[in-house]
Structures are given as C-alpha cells and as structure tokens.
Amino acid sequence: MKRTLPILAVLMVLLAAIAIANPHFLEPAGFLAFLKRAAPLVILAAGQYFVIVSGEFDLSVGSLVTAEVVIAARLIDGDGSATWPVIALLIVIGLLVGLVNGVVTTKLRVPSFIVTLGMLLILSGAVFLWTGGAPRGALSEGFRAFGRGGLGPVPWSVLILLAVGAAAIWLMRADFGKTLIATGDNERAAALSGVRVDRAKIIAFMLSGLAAAVAAILLGGFAGVSAQVGQGLEFSAITAVVLGGVVLGGGRGSVLAAMAGAFTLEALFTLLNLYGISGALEFTVQGVIIIAAVAAGAVHLPRMFTPRKGDAHAAS
Amino acid sequence: MPRHKATVAVFAVLVVAGCTTDKPTATTQPAAPTSSASRSAEGSGTGEQSKFFVQADFDAQLAMRAQAPQGPADKPWEQAIAPRMADTAKYKKDGPYHLCFSNAAVNNPWRQVGWKTMQAEVGLHKEITKFTTLDAEGKDDKQISDIAELQAKGCDALIVSPNTTATLTPAVTAACGKVPVIVFDRGVETDCPVTFIKPIGGYAFGADAAEFLVEKVPAGGKVLALRILPGVDVLETRWSAAKMTFDKSKVQVVGVEFTDGDAAKTKSIVSDYIQRYGKIDGVWMDAGATAVAAIEAFEDAGLPVPPINGEDQQDFLQKWKDANLTAVAPTYPTYQWRTPVIAALKILKGEEVPKAWNLPQPKVTSENLSTYLKPNMPPLHYALCGCETLPGFPEAWGGKKS
C-alpha cells in the first residue's frame, strides 16, 4: 500500500484538475463515464503488470486487441446467437497467444522483448492480410452491450473492471503473486529455492493475453469494429504500469499501483483533451513518462530501499 | 522502445492521411505540413484560417459544384467538369497495351475499394494484355524507385497515384519524358502529366457538409467540429472550407477537436461535449470513418442525434437509414479509380482527354440515400465506387450476393 500512495496522490491531483475544468465530472454519470473509458486500459495494465513484475515485457497486447476485435466482427457478422461462442473463442485466443509468448520466452530463451515484438508484427500483419485493411462483418448488439450498456446506471465495463481488479489483487496476494515477484526479483534465487520460474512466467503472459481479450471485448463494444482499435495500447499499458511505480525488470511494485497508473494516464489524456491539446501529444507524454519514471526509479531506489545492483538498470 | 513508438505514431499519421486523399489543384501550397490547428478559443469559434488555404482553389471548387459535368450521366467516372481538352495524337499507338500503375498504398478502406475497382476496370478491356502494379506501401522513397522501375518495364502508359505531392514531383517529371503519365487522386507540382484526374476536392467536401449544418442547425446552435489531425494538407482543405461557411453563419462552433481517426476517441470526445454543454446541435466531420461512433455517443447518452455529416461508407448510411437521421454525406468518390484506366486507353488511341479531369463529386442526401445504401456490402465499403456493374461485384468488394 505504501508504494501505491504517490501514484494515488498524482491521480487525485489530476482528477481535481479535471473537475475544475469540467464540473460535470464530479456527477455520478460523469465519473462513471470516466471509469468506463478507463476500464480497458486499466485491465490491460493489470495484465501487463503480471508480465513486467516477473521481469518480462508484453508488447503484443495492442495488436492482440485489434486482432480480437476484427476476428469477433468477422465471426459474429451481426448474428446475435454467435455472441457467446465468439466471446469464449476470444478468451481462448488471448490465452493461447499468451501461452506462445510465455513458452517461447522461457523454454526457447528468446528475450520477451523480441518474442512479443515479433508477435505484435505477426498479429498486425495477419490482421492486415486477412482484412485487406478494411474489416468486414459486424458485432452483435449483445456483444456490444459489454462496452456500451450497463446494469442500470452502472456500465458493464465498470463492473467487469471491478471483478478483474479484485481478481488481480487476490492473485497477487495468493502464493502465485509471491512466486511471481520472487521470479522477477531474482530469477536464479527463486529457481534455487524451488519456484517453478518458467511456469510462473508463462502464466503471467497468459494473464496478459486474457486481459487483452477482455479489453478487446470492452473496446469493440464501446466503439465498434475498427482496424486501429488496439494501436499503441501496448505502450499505454506499459506506461501505466511504470507510472504506477512498478520497476521495469521485475520484482517490485503492486498491481493496485499499476491499475492506479492506468487511471492516472487516462486522467492525463482526458485533461489534455479538455485543454484542447492534440492527440498526437499523447505519444510524447507517454514517452516522457516512461523515461522519467525509470530514471526516477534508478535515482531514488538505492537510497530508499536496500541497494540492489542491476534491476533498475536492466530496464533501460 | 521510444523509437518504435515514434514509428507507430508516424504510421498512424500516414494511415490516417491516406484515408482521405484530396488535394487542391494549385501549385502554390506551402510544402511543409506545419501544424495549423485551429482551436476553438477565439472569435467565431473556428480559430484562424489554415495555412494550407488557397483562396483561388477554394473559389474554383465551390464554383465547380454548380457546373453540369459533361459526359454520360450514368457513368460519372467518365464525366468531366468544364474540361479543357488536351491533344494526345503524339501518343497514339496500336494495341495490345501494357499499362503500369504506381500506387501510393492500399492501407485503408478507401484505397482498398478503389484498388479493387481499378482492377475490375482493367479486366473490362481486352486490349490491355498486361497490367503491372507496384504498391509503395505509403512510402515516398519506395514510390520514387517504383516509378523508376516501371519505366524500365516497357509500359505504354503510366498511372500514378502519388503518396505526397512535392516529394513525388521530380519522379513524375522524369517519367513524363519517357511515357504518357496519368496522375490521379493527389496531384503533383508539374503539368507534364497528360491528364490529372480528381474529384472536385476537399473544399467542396467541407463546404457541402458545413452548408448542410448551417441550414439545419438553428441560429445560435452549438456545432462540434471533429477533425482527424492537424497539418495534413488533404484534411486542412476540408476544414478551411467549413470554417469559411461557419464564419458567415449564425451557428456557434463550440469546439474543433482532433480524433486521430479513432472511433473510441471520437466517441469519448463527443460524450465529453455532451456532458459539458448539455446539448450539441450539430456535428461536422472531415471524414466519415468515425461518424457512427459520434452518433452512438448521442444514443448512449439517451439524446436525439443532431444534424451530422458522414461520408459514403456503408455503416454510416445504414445508421442514417435505421435511425432516420438528419444527415448528409459529402463524398470523395472511389469511382475515380476507374477513370485513369479509361484515360490511358483514350490517350493510347490518340483521343483527346481533359488536361485537368475534374470528376463530379456528388453528395448523399436523404432523397438519394436509398440508391446508395447497399445492405449486403461490408460496413467500410464506399458506396460511390461505381463498381456495381463491374464483373465480380459484390463478392470481390467483400459483399454478399442477394
């Protein structure tokens, strides 16, 4: 919890700034709309957190989201009865992509940066090839309900977000979480003390793939079919995690802080938008955040915590 | 990692820029795509005029809208507005012909539809025995070498759809000396091509949409303008024409926002504006790809959809009909991809062609909506493809029979 405090403070400041610029933000409807908009990124950040805290990267989530949305549209093709089977298929695809990422990273010893970058290119190329640049088909109303509709005034995506967040926090408190952090902190030590390092990492990648599938269902539901839906999301997710104080290279940081980082990033985007700053700047902002957060970690960590050579530098 | 991100950003810009390709005809535009974002703060709410604005082009395009095109009415891709014919006798030669095409890209739905249409047009003419195409994949440097490569392939005529204007000009100039060149969609800064084919253009697009809103939105009504991104010539013309129209009107432009062509972002922006102003009375868009997302923002807020413009994409037309919207769809017709093939054959047969071949640029209105709406076509199909009678329709364009 202690590590979550700084990012929560930043988040509060940003939310206050938004509220000043747009008083409607404080009304339940306005705030729920913000939560709904942030939900996909927060879920992706939770997934990315598992991978990063285990000492790896997952760059494939953005194009996985795009692929999932495009596949869903093509397979559902407006037919409501196909909704649930396709959702099940999307989740399987997400887990499968994570499995491949994890197995190649751990068993074949290819750095995850390369594996998932390759997966990003493979998926985006495959989507382009399959669709020819113009996605076909349509999502059913039932599918879109997860991103558009709600239970009374509360959007479904907010409820799904709560469930995912609770599950992520529970996972990190369970043995799995401790194993994962130990793996990211010092892989060799963890392995020598009996942790099944490879298994932990593979599961982390599968969780990230699962998060991408859920995010895809929410994003596709929110705004419909698009071949650009996932563009840049991998960087937003990594930025969010880093912003939450999670150390690139693994071993430190909480999943709650990572999710708070995603909320903060989304709040920052909202604020930029409110002040009419072009969307192109979002990339710049993310770049500055990643560099600054890693640099700040490298500067402060040795003084605040037990000095541990290497792990902060491993990130850069 | 930052480098990759920059690549992503640049790619996104290119994709979006390629989406909506049109170009003012004058050669006087500033080459550097500096940002000329017009913010909503000052004056009429539309901000400063774009640096890309060229008054003469604007006037010419707006005038062209009222002129009756010459040529067969049922084949708008063969029509031309106020053509000045160019003699092509010196290019006359006997068939069969080998046509070559240097394509800027096929990386967005608009170009996809156009490219399929062009291939089908080529298939109609048995005197074309060979059709060689190189896809520049949105890269200027690749297109420059593509054009050079095609000159060595023994083409009888070269069709070029330039990726950007200024950078491709020398390559096209070099090709002009060897083979008759036909340029379409975006132009180049030389008049050496035998003909330059394009619809009326971006000013007409922007003005068509804005004039509709000014007519439908009550005085003092709040209009939200949604643009893809600033600093891209082909999009600046659309907005600058709309700005001219809004400035003369009584509607109030409460915001000019950039959506990056992203549906989720568009929906979020519109939701924000609905929240902030309680009511938005009209939405202007510089491209139709995210129009449905904007409409859904109103639906999800439980509000009636105000007057809005989109483009001739099926998803928008379908929504328009289903929700009975007050809407208009200016177009940048994909049927222009048929014209270069027709022009090439005319040139090789020694028939005269318009030097500046301005195609009609119809708009979809509630009166003619039913003729353009084709429910069997995919959501991102462009209705004005002029491809309905071509062999392979609708399957080749992703549609379903019946």
pLDDT tens digits along B128-182: 999 999 999 889 999 999 999 999 999 999 999 999 888 899 999 999 999 999 9
Backbone torsions φ then ψ of B230, nearest 5 degrees: -85, 165
DSSP assignment string, B168-213: HHHHHHHHHTTS-EEEESS--S-S-SSEEEEES-HHHHHHHHHHHH
Cα separation, A208 vs A39, in Å, equals 15
DSSP class of B70: B
DSSP letter, residue B49:
P
Q: Rounded distance, CA A233 to CA B5, Å?
A: 11
- pLDDT over 70 at B118, yes or no: yes
Q: Check: CB of residue B26 under 8 Å from CB of residue B55.
A: no
The 8-class DSSP code of residue A85 comes to H
Average model confidence (pLDDT) across chain B: 86
Q: Which residues in chain A have Cβ-Cβ distances shorter than 8 Å to B266? A: 223
Q: Do A148 and B1 make contact, defined as CB atoms within 8 angstroms? A: no
Q: Where do the CATH 3.40.50.2300 domains begin and end in chain B?
A: 29-61+202-330, 65-201+333-363
Q: How confident is the model at residue B20 (pLDDT cuts 50, 70, 90)?
A: very low
CB contact under 8 A, A229 and B263: yes
Cβ neighbour number for residue A107 with a 10 Å cutoff: 10
Q: Is residue B375 very low, low, confident or very high in pLDDT (cuts 50, 70, 90)?
A: confident
Residues A151-194 have pLDDT tens digits of: 888 999 999 999 999 999 999 999 999 999 999 999 999 999 98
Quote the domain boundaries for residue A219: 2-315
Cβ pair A279:B258 closer than 8 A: yes
Cβ–Cβ under 8 Å, residues B244 and B59:
no
Q: What is the pLDDT of residue B174?
A: 93
Distances (CA, A) of B311 to A13, B155, B230: 41, 36, 19
Contact A228, A66 (CB under 8 A): yes
Interval B294-310: pLDDT, tens: 999 999 888 999 999 99
Output the pLDDT for position B47: 82
The minimum CA-CA distance between B187 and chain A, rounded to whole Å, is: 24
Highest CATH level, class, for B29-61+202-330: alpha beta
* Cα–Cα distance measured from residue A151 to residue A129, given in angstroms and rounded to the nearest whole number: 38
Give residue-wise pLDDT tens across range B347-369: 999 999 999 999 999 999 999 99
B92: which DSSP letter?
A: -
How far apart, in Å, do the first and last CA atoms of chain B sit?
49
Whole-prediction pTM value? 0.79
Total of domains in chain A: 1
What's the pLDDT band for A307 if we cut at 50, 70, 90?
very low
Backbone φ and ψ for A285, nearest 5 degrees, come out as: -60, -45
pLDDT at A314 over 50: no
Question: Which phi and psi angles does B97 have, rounded to 5°?
Answer: -110, 150
Q: What ipTM goes with this model? A: 0.77
Residue B36's pLDDT is: 38
Radius of gyration of chain A (CA): 19
Tokens read off for B55: 């008054």
Tell me the pairing of strands B97-103 and B157-161: parallel
* Greatest pairwise CA separation for chain B in angstroms: 67
Rounded CA gap, A93 and A88, in Å?
A: 9
Q: Is the peptide bond before B378 cis (omega within 30 degrees of 0)?
A: no
Within 8 A by CB and 6+ apart from A112, the residues are A51, A56, A57, A58, A101, A105, A205
Please report, for the domain that includes residue A50, its CATH number.
Answer: 1.10.3470
Contact flag A280-B4 (C-beta cutoff 8 Å): no
Q: How far is A194 from chain B (nearest CA, A)?
A: 34
Contact A223 B267 (CB under 8 A): yes
Task: Name the CATH superfamily, with its identifier, for domain B65-201+333-363.
Answer: Response regulator (3.40.50.2300)
Alpha-carbon gap, residue A288 to A265, rounded angstroms? 12
CA atoms of B208 and B212, how far apart (whole Å): 6
**Identity of the amino acid at B101:** F
Name the nearest CA neighbour of B187 among B168, B207, B206.
B168
- Return the H-helix or E-strand segment holding B135: strand B128-135
Chain B residues touching A274 at Cβ < 8 A: 272
Mutate to test the interface with A, among B38, B268, B271, B274 (most CBs of A within 10 A): B268
In degrees and rounded to multiples of 5, residue B352 shows phi and psi of: -75, 150
| Chains A–B, number of C-beta pairs less than 8 Å apart | 118
**Exposed, middle or buried by CB within 10 Å (0-12, 13-18, 19+), for B98?**
middle
